[in-house]
Amino acid sequence: MPVTAMIIEDGDNVATCLEKVAKGGSVRLMLNGKMGKTLKANQAIPYIHKICIKTLKKGEHCMKYGLSIGVASKDIKVGDYIHVHNIESARGRGDLA
Amino acid sequence: MARRNGTGATSKRLRKTWWGYPRENGDVGARNYLLLLSGTLYANPTCERVARTLRHSVALTHPLGRCQIGPDIQRTFETLVGHGQNANAGAVIVIDHHREEGCTADEIAHEIAKTGKRVEAINIREDGGAIDATAKATRIGMEMLRELTNERRQEVSLSKLLLGLNCGTSDTTSGLSHNKATGWVTDQVVKLGGRALLAETTEMMGGEDVLAAKCVRPALGKRIWRMVEEMEERILACGVDLRGSQPTGDNMEGGLTTIEEKSLGAIQKAGSAPIVDVIPWAKRANRRSGLHVMDTPGHGGESITGIAAGGSQVLIFSTGGGHTINHPLMSTIRITGNPLSARLQADTTDVDVTDIFEGAPIEVAGRRVYDEVLDVASGKMTKAEILHEDNAFAINRIGPSV
């Protein structure tokens, strides 16, 4: 059984996996209650964490809710686990100020 | 008659009234407590002794009221006044210790009296020390409670409700489920002439444009931008990376990667209601129907303390991780859409909206939350209220102790 992953806005880079996903496990995308295509997870993804559904180049904004949630700190492929290891906040960065 | 809808079963039409205690100034209380309000930390035990003795009373205590300066002591003062004025307090006894500066029981009581409710000030030294002051407050309080408990709830419209909105221990389920259900409730309350109060400035970072677009006047949008900018400047001035503090460790464990992501989930609580005012921390909200926005920090206890001082009688606390948070005076309803948290924190979860992830429309979950809001406003106790989880009275500080 593939794990369902919810997309919020069409065009977002990420979807939220509703169960944990094993490395190589399949993830079925859902947008507005409609099921879409199935992806393979390139790494294990913890419970309710995010999977990349649209390639990101280093420095590009990662979109969720149709808005930026931060910047890719490295190139990210479809199926990659997305979290603090590859996305950085652009706000409140006193360490860079 | 009020329909008691404890099962959460939904009817076709939304209820348009609730049952509360009307006050002289036009406010309506969801509770009719006697409030023992401490003016300074040295009066805390006296307030607590009296509250332990008197059934149906609540003590608000804190470590402040001494050796604070300027805007910081003013903020403490306004917070205490705001709680005394909150319609959930039917009568108030303010207790201080000796001679306080800028925050005396007399000054606090003077401001609270403007609402028309009964208020008394007690000074521990002048009233003969800790034991005599306790006895005096207990006697006065008993008489106040005889009057309060002889009052009856009356049916009032939604225009008398100021619904507080706050989220906490957010995770990726927040923006998808419980915050969305909360946003649905916000929209219904505002459509029926009521008010909602959104807060948590840190969690507007990244969502300023979305909020500014909801404002009825461009000047209000500018105030939101400025308020977030000031918060970010204070963070930057600390010279550290916000990550780890915002998002917090539990936010990141819950899959939230950045403050922007947390914010965009948090502002779902606003629904699509128009923003009609933007106010500073603990300032009393005006009576205009719509969504009001208050400048509060992400700290849950401080944020909901600001909201209670603003006049909210009931608050939806929308949480990913589940929570015990509860304001002692303002009824706090905890809801979650995270199935794991609904199980682990069932003891203090009032409404479970996990069915959203099984395909239930937001409206179905939203109606359940709406019914709970009106039930609690009309007297139903929340789980944490029953458990005395009185953990979230926390006054925000903007200056040093001196």
What's the full length of chain B, in residues?
A: 402
Q: Do residue B118 and residue B62 come from a single domain?
A: yes
For residues B190 and B282, membership in a common domain is answered with: yes
Task: Determine, yes or no, domain membership for B398.
Answer: no
- B188 and B57 in a single domain? The answer is no
- Picking from B89, B114, B148, the residue at the C-terminal end of a domain is B148
Position B3 scores a pLDDT of: 45
Same-domain check for residues B143 and B165: no
CATH, range A3-88: 2.30.130.110
Instruction: Let me know whether B293 and B379 are in one domain.
Output: yes
Identify which of A8, A65, A94 has the shortest CB distance to residue B238: A94
Residues B127, B172, single domain; the answer is: no
Same domain, B300 and B231: yes
Interface touch B241/A93, C-beta < 8 Å: yes
Instruction: Report, in angstroms and rounded to the nearest whole number, the Rg of chain B calculated over CA atoms.
Output: 20
CA–CA gap between residue B63 and residue B74 (Å, rounded): 15
Q: What is the pLDDT of residue B190?
A: 98
Q: Which residues contact A40 (CB under 8 A, 6 or more apart)?
A: A24, A25, A26, A27, A79
| Domain contains B397 | no
Chain A: give the shortest CA distance to residue B12, in Å: 23
Mutate to test the interface with B, among A13, A16, A28, A48 (most CBs of B within 10 A): A48
Q: Is A33–B359 a contact, with Cβ atoms under 8 angstroms apart?
A: yes
In a domain, B2, yes or no: no
In which element (H, E) is residue B231 found? helix B218-237
Position B380 in a domain = yes
Q: Which residues from chain B sit within 8 angstroms of residue A90, using beta carbons?
A: 258, 260
Q: Is the pLDDT of residue B61 over 70?
A: yes
A44 touches B: beta carbon within 8 Å: no
pLDDT at site B309: 98
User: Chain B residue closest to A88 (CA)?
Assistant: B258
Please tell me the predicted confidence (pLDDT) of residue B1.
37
Do A91 and B236 lie within an 8 Å CB cutoff? no
B328 φ, ψ to 5°? -65, -25
The pLDDT assigned to B214 comes to 97
Q: Are B38 and B92 members of one domain? A: yes
Record: contact A92-B239, CB cut-off 8 A: no
Quick one: which of B134, B167, B125, B154 has its CA closest to B299? B167
Q: Measured between beta carbons, which residues in chain A are less than 8 angstroms from residue B259?
A: 89, 91-92
In angstroms, the separation between the Cα of residue B387 and the nearest Cα of chain A is 30
Phi/psi-derived region of residue B316, left when phi > 0, alpha when psi is between -120 and 50, beta in every other case: beta
The pLDDT-based confidence of B377 (bands split at 50, 70, 90) is: very high
For the stretch A29-62, pLDDT in tens is: 999 888 999 999 999 999 999 999 999 999 999 9
Domain co-membership, B55 together with B188: no
CB contact under 8 A, B258 and A93: no
* pLDDT the model gives residue B245: 73
pLDDT computed for residue B15 by the predictor: 96
What CATH number corresponds to the domain at position B95?
3.40.50.2300
Residue A15 sits at the chain B interface (C-beta within 8 Å) = no
For residue B235, give the nearest of A65, A68, A92 by CB distance: A92
Q: How many domains does chain B have?
A: 2
Does B61 fall in a domain?
yes
The residues facing B279 across adjacent strands are B294
Q: Looking at the structure, do residues B285 and B185 belong to the same domain, yes or no?
A: yes
Nearest to B67 by CA among B394, B401, B396: B401
Check pLDDT > 50 for residue B133: yes
Which of A14, A15, A23 minimizes the C-alpha distance to A43?
A23
Rounded to a whole number, what is the distance in Å from the CA of B337 to chain A's nearest CA? Answer: 11
Indicate if B307 and B381 belong to the same structural domain.
yes
Measured between alpha carbons, how far is residue B401 from residues B78, B233, B296, B299 in Å? 18, 22, 20, 20
Task: Give the domain ranges of chain A.
Answer: 3-88
Query: Residues of B at the A interface (Cβ-Cβ below 8 Å)?
Result: 171-173, 175-176, 205-207, 209-210, 232, 235-243, 246, 252, 254-255, 257-261, 264-265, 338, 340, 357, 359
pLDDT by residue (tens digit) across B328-374? 999 999 999 999 999 999 999 999 999 999 889 999 999 999 999 99
Q: How far is B82 from chain A (nearest CA, A)?
A: 31
Collect all residues of chain A within an 8 Å Cβ-Cβ radius of residue B246. Answer: 92
Domain that holds residue B74: 33-148
The confidence score (pLDDT) of residue A25 equals 97
Q: Evaluate if residue A92 carries a pLDDT over 80.
A: no
Alpha-carbon dihedral angle through residues B41, B43, B48, B49, given to the nearest 10 degrees: 150
Which of these three, B148, B176, B196, is where a domain ends? B148
In Å, how far is B5's CA from the nearest CA of chain A?
Answer: 29
Rounded (5°) CA angle B121-B126-B132:
85
Same domain for B65 and B135?
A: yes
> What's the confidence (pLDDT) of residue B279?
98
Do strands A67-72 and A87-88 pair parallel, antiparallel, or not at all (unpaired)? antiparallel
Q: Does B207 map to a domain?
A: yes
